[in-house]
Structure 1
Amino acid sequence: MSPDGHRGRGVALSGQPFAFRRGTAGMRAMIEVGAEHGVDVRKMLRGTGISPEMLHGGAVVNGTQELAVAANLVTESGAESGVGLAVGERLSLRAYGVWGFALLTCPTVRSAVEFGLHYLPLTYAVTALGLCVCEDEAHLVVEEPDSPPALRTFLVEREIAVTAGILRAILDGSPPSMRVELRLPRPSLDYETVLDAPVRFDAPHNAIVTNTAVLDLPLPQADPLTKTACERACHTLLLERSSPGITQRVRTIIDEGVTDASLVAARLHLSDRTLRRHLAAEGSSFRSLVEETRRAKAVELMNLHHLSVEQAALRLGYADAATFIRAFRRWTGTTPGAASGFRRQGNGTRRVDRRSSRHQD
């Protein structure tokens, strides 16, 4: 079915692009717009685990972190509309690397759209996009995300602006008969000037609409050999970014009881220095992962297995109970005994004191 409820054909919907890791160009574009609204970079990165220094030099982030930056931008700027358009305008085809170059080398607009949707996880999109051909019109639909209204507006604006810009870039000009349809109510901002196209508001969907004949237009920079090489590179990159990140792989090894960084690096066929660099690029560190794992294991040992503090300390590799207690206090701000809800009995076993633990969760 088409977005308007009529039967269409050629529907291709991408799924969950935000689940894949991506570069930092999307974040940098949001931070630039935030700066124009007087928002400090550290406020923009709040809650992401990303430092300003990590935004350059090939760092990789995930869609959840990118969504957090988007939410910070919307909240801190106080703008109800237009911010997403400003960010989308900054994400030129060049920002997309080999994915963007591949689109230029496709033979037609249709093949470029199909290629772009297939490899959408290599972009900075955090919403799904799809193509629906209905009668004499083609709809490039931006799926509306399940998020608060202000953030939803930002994400739709950004993807519409990005998509319109990409179409202009691959065709070396605006597609004939292009218009934009948005579910948003008409704002005070002049969307038509920004998007260089007529805009219909209060529409049943968010989409860029053109005549179906546009899909068969040849692209001026089409090159089959270059496209083949780019597609191989995109396929490899997609496999890399869809596989578990280095942080998750390290966490899995630590869960097995290996807490020596050199041994973990060897398991991953990396040097110590390379391992730490990869973790930093993902907003983590080996020490924080070890402490995170030990903290979770400590609570499990005492609450589920009813081990004493001394026994838990031994199982977790601490020299003595006092060292373990200090570490636990650093993690949680309280002692293992207070956190566990258990109290010691004469033979070293523990039972739940329901009167004292009832309201501790």
Structure 2
Amino acid sequence: MVEVGAEHGVDVLDCLHGTALSPEMLHGDTVVSGAQELAVAANLVTATGNASGLGLAVGERLSLHSYGIWGFALLTCPTVRSAVEFGLHYLPLTYAVTELRLQVRGGEALLIVDDLGCPTALRSFLVEREIAVTSGILRAILGESPPPMRVELSLPKPSADYEKTVRATVLFDAAHNAIITDAAVLDLPLPQADPLTMAVCERACRTLLCERCSPCVEQSVRAIIAEGVTDANLIAARLHLSARTLRRHLAAEGTSFRRLVDEARHASAVELITLHRLGVEQVALRLGYADAATFIRAFRRWTGTTPGAYARRAS
């Protein structure tokens, strides 16, 4: 977006205004939030007077390789249909702000770009960007001879040359925004299909999806521990993470796996001792300790006293 802004005479600082991003940060490994991205888009649209074809210019710069493992996974899918379904399932790993969905009707396949959830002032820009990106991705995975496609847009006919960018017939003032082709295209085999590579890519995408979209790993870990699971490897597998990545996320959130397990055991021990009045051996067994002595040491660490003394004081 900054590059396209420069081509329209918009200074980089104007594009980044109000985002807490600096030009230097764009050349490192800075993580840019969705809110920051939309702010840059709004700055660009405002500064250019919502120039026709602005989204197309941004979208055509985003090749399949811009999407990392998600883009590589699409190449390895067996058919066009499986690639589209895979792409939609892991859509949060992309730059898409609009919703996308696949429909098959009347012998045609429609990949619909739904802009209803987008900021009103940015809808045309975001639709243009997504149409350009998606048509480019479809051409990339289909190889040198892609089948005919047409694009239908709810936008009024602009001055920009849409057909040159999307390489398809474009109709305006339509009831929806969609890329349309013959339904039989969905069953076409992809030239670079590779089931083993696809399986590896999907595991990586699952991990990324969990890392990027889970609001709080600590909360998820607490919920699983509450089910009685206290093995780090099992919990990491449930969250589609490695044990090392799980511990790294918890550290970033200011806690640790051992602390969460200790807190859960502490709470359970107090309940079992004071409310259910179980003996030390029974509590140790329920909480997974090797013996009563190990549990007593842990309890003293939590409370500064023994289970027996704690129970008497509670009484």
Shorter-normalised TM range: 0.5 to 0.7
5+ residue gaps, structure 2, are 218-250, 257-315
SS in 2 for 1:110: helix
Paired residue for 1:192? 163
Instruction: Name the aligned partner's letter for residue 117 of structure 1.
Output: L
> Structure 1 residues 59 and 233 mapped into 2: Cα distance closer, same or farther (>3 Å)?
same
Report deviation, 1:69: 0.7
Partner of 1:131: 102
* Secondary structure at 2:71 match in 1: helix
Q: Which of residues 134, 142, 146 in structure 2 aligns to 1:163?
A: 134
**Aligned residue for 1:25?**
none
Name the counterpart of 1:119: 90
CA displacement at 1:265 relative to structure 2: 6.5
Q: 1:107 corresponds to which residue?
A: 78
Select the structure with the greater relative contact order (CA < 8 A; seq sep ≥ 6): 1
In the superposition, relative to structure 1, how do residues 134 and 39 fare at CA in structure 2: closer, same or farther (>3 Å)?
A: same
Number of aligned residue pairs? 224
Superimposed CA distance per residue, residues 8-27 of structure 1 (whole angstroms, 9 cap, x where no aligned partner) = xxxxxxxxxxxxxxxxxxxx
Q: Is the partner of 1:90 in helix, strand or coil? A: coil
Give 1:53 deviation, angstroms: 2.0
Cα deviation code 1:131-170 (max 9, x no counterpart):
0011200000000144565521100000000000000000
In the aligned structure 2, how far is the partner of 1:267 from the partner of 1:95?
32
Counterpart residue type for residue 200 of structure 2: A
Is residue 175–residue 214 contact of structure 1 (8 Å, CA) maintained in 2? no
Quote the Cα distance in structure 2 between the aligned partners of 1:174 and 1:159. 22
- For residues 158-213 of structure 1, give each alpha carbon's deviation from its aligned partner in whole angstroms, at most 9, with x where no partner exists: 00000000000001146312000000111122211121100011110000000001
- Which of the residues 82, 85, 94 maps onto 2:53? 82
Distance 1:149 1:217, change over 3 A: same
Map of 1:141 onto structure 2: 112
Q: Secondary structure in 2 aligned to 1:138?
A: strand
Deviations 1:86-119 (A, max 9, x none): 0000000000000000000000000000000000
The whole-number CA distance in structure 2 between the counterparts of 1:245 and 1:70 is: 28
Residues 98 and 117 in structure 2, CA contact (< 8 A), matched pair in contact too: no
C-alpha distance in 1, partners of 2:60/2:163? 14
Gaps of 5+ in 1: 1-29, 247-263, 270-361
* Structure 1: distance between partners of 2:202 and 2:11: 38
Q: Residue 177 of structure 1 aligns with which residue?
A: 148
**TM-score, L = length of structure 1:** 0.59
SS in 2 for 1:218: coil
Mapped to 1, the partners of 2:121 and 2:165 lie a distance apart of 19
1:267 aligned residue (233, 254, 265): 254
Output the CA distance in 2 between the equivalents of 1:144 and 1:191: 18
Match of 2:294 in 1: none
Sort the Cα spacing of 1:146 and 1:244 in 2 relative to 1 into closer, same or farther, 3 A: closer
Given the alignment, which residue of 17, 23, 28 partners 1:57?
Answer: 28
1:211 to 173, 182, 189: 182
Aligned partner letter, 1:99:
W
Partner of 1:40: 11
Summarize deviations over 1:12-50 as a string: whole Å, max 9, x none.
xxxxxxxxxxxxxxxxxx111011111111111112222
Structure-2 change in CA distance of 1:245 and 1:89 (3 Å): farther
What RMSD over aligned residues (CA atoms) do the two structures have, in Å?
2.0
For the 8 Å contact 1:80–1:150, the answer to whether it is kept is: no
